[in-house]
Chain A
Amino acid sequence: MIKAEHLYKSFENKDVLKDINVEFDQGKTNLIIGQSGSGKTVLLKCLVGLHEINSGNIYYDDVRFNMLATEEKRQMRRHVGMIFQGGALLDSSTVQENVKLPLDMFTDHGEKEKIERVNFCLNRVNLHDVNHLYPSELSGGMVKRVAIARAIVLNPKYLFCDEPNSGLDPMTSVVIDNLIKEITEEYEMTTIINTHDMNSVMEIGDKVVFIHKGQKWWEGSKDDILDSENPELNAFVFASAMAKRSKRHR
């Protein structure tokens, strides 16, 4: 479980997050949705500690994450996996080196054992025979899958995904969404996904949090969304004509 209490964050006197109170459940895919510029990426980066918060608290299970010292945060992050919008694979390393890096840094396994683990994770995301390719030689979907493999290689308890479907075609997006959902359930992780893709919400959203103008505007399940009377949420969800039609059919 990850919990934020009375979270505030501002950049140069501009308030980006205002009094966010939210709890993300373990073993579920928790989605943060909202328009571009609403503050969802800042919220995700605050939760993971890439941005210092102005006030409030962040809890990882019983640990008050924002009060940890730098070294303690580093230790904590070994239980965290993150998939970035562009994949963020190290350009100068091969796929195998990218996935193996956390194992090299934080385990004392032998080389053979590490390669076996790398291959297991790559197979888990349906990638084969790509170990010696460089990120520039991969397609967008493959980059995302390698990023997922790297994120899960140390069996993390918490998984963060920043717009995992951006730049992908609809079919590959569904594959990536389902993969994240499967892995979340398989490893009982607390997964938080940042997205503005309504297909993802309807496919995998166990819990959905809507951020609007830096505030938590609404939260509920994917089934509650379609019945919500919240005007800002409706404006976001039913922005496309197809979604409006499906609302009318209900």
Chain B
Amino acid sequence: MGKFLTFLGRYFIMMKRVLTKPDKWYIFRRRVSFELEALGLNSIGIAAIISIFMGAVVALQMAINLESPFIPKMLIGYATREIMILEFSSTVVALILAGKVGSNIASEIGTMRITEQIDALEIMGINSASYLILPKIIATVLFFPFLAIMSTIIGCFGGYFIAWATGIINPEDYVDGLMFGFKSFSIIYSLIKIAVFAFLITSISGMYGYYANGNSLEVGRASTKAVVVSSVAILVFDLILTQLILI
């Protein structure tokens, strides 16, 4: 309990420093665009690969388990779409990005801490927490929703591909299912979730990196803790947001 309260205290103290007005807006914009590429564009590949396979696997599982002649085959497409939108493209993609982006942020900032680069920024009179972490938060909160949309589209395409390639269901039935009973609010729910997850991943990982001390071993530990805590936070907030938004 003490550790948890210490964590919360550190987190809020750091966030108070992070969420401040940037000293120079044009430098802030430049750093955000740099982070959009480093944390956003560079994550497209892994999100796309995982989405296409997960879409294909979900469609296959549905086809195998919905064999009753009383259940229309188009429900396979419908279920695949709903799973991709509601859980996979936001929560599972966020968990994967917690590993990729979270460890990247924690190790980058942690290394800056132990090599005194953060002290150098402080000596220059720069708010180092805001300078380093705020552009990452803004970049991921803006970009991850695009990844979620892309992941949904690619996942649905993965299901279509497996339907076409294996013939386990008729691709036309699958497409009918994809278009059946579509609720646009599901997309909004998914985007809200991934934006919150992006904030959690970046701020928690940034905090572990920022408070790292000692040597490279400590940076490694900070990186691991960042991924674990971010993942747990994603699951907890998934539950909270689902309760708040959908129920």
Q: Which A residues lie at the B interface, using CB under 8 A? A: 48, 50, 74-78, 80-82, 84-86, 88-91, 101-102, 104-106, 160
Partner of B122, one of A50, A81, A86: A50
| Residues from chain A with Cβ under 8 Å of B23 in the complex | 105-106
A74–B125 alpha-carbon span in the complex (Å): 4
| Residues from chain B with Cβ under 8 Å of A104 in the complex | 24, 27
B125 touching A106, Cβ below 8 Å? yes
> Which of B116, B117, B123, B125 has the most chain A CB within a 10 Å cutoff?
B123
A88–B119 alpha-carbon span in the complex (Å): 8
A74–B128 alpha-carbon span in the complex (Å): 11
B24 touching A77, Cβ below 8 Å? no
Contact-residue bracket for chain B: 10 to 19
Q: Check B61 for interface membership: any CB of A closer than 8 A.
A: no
Closest to A153 in B: B124
Closest to B124 in A: A102
User: Shortest beta-carbon distance, B85 to chain A, in Å?
Assistant: 36
| Residues from chain B with Cβ under 8 Å of A74 in the complex | 125-127
A204–B83 alpha-carbon span in the complex (Å): 71
Q: Check B242 for interface membership: any CB of A closer than 8 A.
A: no
| Residues from chain B with Cβ under 8 Å of A101 in the complex | 124, 126
Q: What are 14 of the A-B contact pairs (CB < 8 Å)?
A: A75-B125, A76-B125, A77-B123, A81-B123, A82-B119, A84-B116, A84-B120, A88-B116, A90-B112, A90-B120, A101-B124, A105-B23, A105-B124, A106-B125
Q: Which B residues lie at the A interface, using CB under 8 A? A: 23-24, 27, 111-112, 115-117, 119-120, 122-127
User: Shortest beta-carbon distance, B124 to chain A, in Å?
Assistant: 5
B117 touching A77, Cβ below 8 Å? no
B122 touching A77, Cβ below 8 Å? yes
A88–B116 alpha-carbon span in the complex (Å): 5
A86 touching B126, Cβ below 8 Å? no
A77–B123 alpha-carbon span in the complex (Å): 6
A89–B111 alpha-carbon span in the complex (Å): 12
A88–B128 alpha-carbon span in the complex (Å): 14
User: Shortest beta-carbon distance, B188 to chain A, in Å?
Assistant: 36
A105 touching B120, Cβ below 8 Å? no
Given contacts A104-B24, A106-B23, A106-B125, 14 further A-B contacts (CB under 8 A): A50-B119, A74-B125, A74-B126, A74-B127, A77-B125, A78-B124, A82-B120, A84-B116, A84-B120, A86-B116, A88-B119, A88-B120, A90-B117, A91-B112
Closest to B122 in A: A50
Partner of A105, one of B27, B111, B116: B27
Partner of B117, one of A76, A85, A91: A91
A48 touching B123, Cβ below 8 Å? yes
A160–B124 alpha-carbon span in the complex (Å): 12
| Residues from chain B with Cβ under 8 Å of A91 in the complex | 111-112, 115, 117
A105 touching B115, Cβ below 8 Å? no
Closest to A102 in B: B124
Closest to A50 in B: B119
| Residues from chain B with Cβ under 8 Å of A84 in the complex | 116, 119-120
User: Shortest beta-carbon distance, A91 to chain B, in Å?
Assistant: 7
A101–B120 alpha-carbon span in the complex (Å): 11
| Residues from chain B with Cβ under 8 Å of A102 in the complex | 124-125
Which 9 residue pairs are nearest across A and B when measured between Cβ atoms?
A: A77-B125, A88-B120, A88-B116, A82-B123, A78-B125, A74-B125, A84-B116, A88-B117, A102-B124
A102–B27 alpha-carbon span in the complex (Å): 12
| Residues from chain A with Cβ under 8 Å of B115 in the complex | 86, 88, 91
User: Shortest beta-carbon distance, A69 to chain B, in Å?
Assistant: 13
A85–B115 alpha-carbon span in the complex (Å): 9
A80 touching B116, Cβ below 8 Å? no
B122 touching A105, Cβ below 8 Å? no
User: Shortest beta-carbon distance, B22 to chain A, in Å?
Assistant: 10
User: Shortest beta-carbon distance, A241 to chain B, in Å?
Assistant: 34
Closest to B117 in A: A88
A48–B126 alpha-carbon span in the complex (Å): 14
| Residues from chain A with Cβ under 8 Å of B120 in the complex | 82, 84, 88-90
| Residues from chain A with Cβ under 8 Å of B24 in the complex | 104-105
B125 touching A105, Cβ below 8 Å? yes
User: Shortest beta-carbon distance, A154 to chain B, in Å?
Assistant: 8
Partner of B116, one of A78, A81, A85, A160: A85
User: Shortest beta-carbon distance, B158 to chain A, in Å?
Assistant: 36
| Residues from chain A with Cβ under 8 Å of B123 in the complex | 48, 50, 77, 80-82, 160
A100–B127 alpha-carbon span in the complex (Å): 17
